[in-house]
Amino acid sequence: MLVMDGMELMQELNRTGSIKWHKVVFILLAVHTSGEDIAAFQQFGVQEYTPKPLSEEVIWNAYQKYFAHDKAKEHDGDCIILLLGD
């Protein structure tokens, strides 16, 4: 089984073009993440950052920001992915 950290995952998704196949929201969830790390993650497609612990409000806000405006009855392929940092 291939093991990658969050940055390696985002780099691979960008390299293969997989990140553009579906409407996916990536949220970086971490305790100790520098501004430089956050900027690097954003360069590869991470849309949001939140410190731990994760709250229902964070997920709800991401849904409202990225999906609520979509009037489609179904969101096949749409999802929110959390990247766990240190």
CA–CA gap between residue 64 and residue 4 (Å, rounded): 29
pLDDT value, residue 72: 55
The predicted-structure confidence for 42-83, as pLDDT tens digits, reads as follows 988 888 888 888 889 988 888 888 877 765 555 555 676 766
pLDDT value, residue 10: 86
pLDDT value, residue 64: 86
pLDDT value, residue 57: 92
The predicted-structure confidence for 25-53, as pLDDT tens digits, reads as follows 888 888 878 889 889 889 888 888 888 88
Strand 48-51 and strand 79-84: pairing? unpaired
